Amino acid sequence: MNPAAPTPLGHCRWAIAEGYIPPTSSDPDDPRLVSHEAACLLNCNSEEAHVSLHIYFKDREPAGPFRVTVPARRTLHLRFNDLSDPESIPRDTPYASVIESDVPIVVQHTRLDSRQAALALMSTIAYAGDAH
């Protein structure tokens, strides 16, 4: 198969300055509707992307690295809720994240907030640092 992107698409370093996992959900039994934050990672390359994340806080040293692999020509919608190694992300706590990859990727940030019966959504392209 001839994938869509013949030349690298993306950057190797990204940042998301906003981060907050709501502490509650209106329907905690449906994983699709659990309050969550995600970093959507897109790897258009023909080789896998080795990605590391560091999480920044208001009043403690950063946590990480958290490591995930995105296979070649795949997307991974990584929920911050699911991170557990080397530690889990505290709920109801502001944070930020820096995402680094050994090959260019594209990163988008999304939150689903279902603290109330009516869910709310937000999404933005992440900040693309220099592709150094």
Q: Which residues bind a copy of itself (CB under 8 A)?
A: 1, 3-5, 7, 9-10, 13, 15-20, 32-33, 38, 40-42, 44, 52, 54, 56-59, 61-62, 64-65, 73-77, 92, 94-96, 98, 100, 106-111, 113, 115-130, 132
Cβ closest to a copy of itself, residue 51 vs residue 84:
51
Cβ closest to a copy of itself, residue 84 vs residue 130:
130
Which residues partner with 70 through β-bridges?
Answer: 49
Minimum CB–partner distance for residue 29 and a copy of itself (Å): 15
Minimum CB–partner distance for residue 47 and a copy of itself (Å): 15
Minimum CB–partner distance for residue 102 and a copy of itself (Å): 14
Minimum CB–partner distance for residue 84 and a copy of itself (Å): 19
Which residues partner with 63 through β-bridges?
Answer: 55
CA angle 53, 36, 127 (to 5 degrees): 45
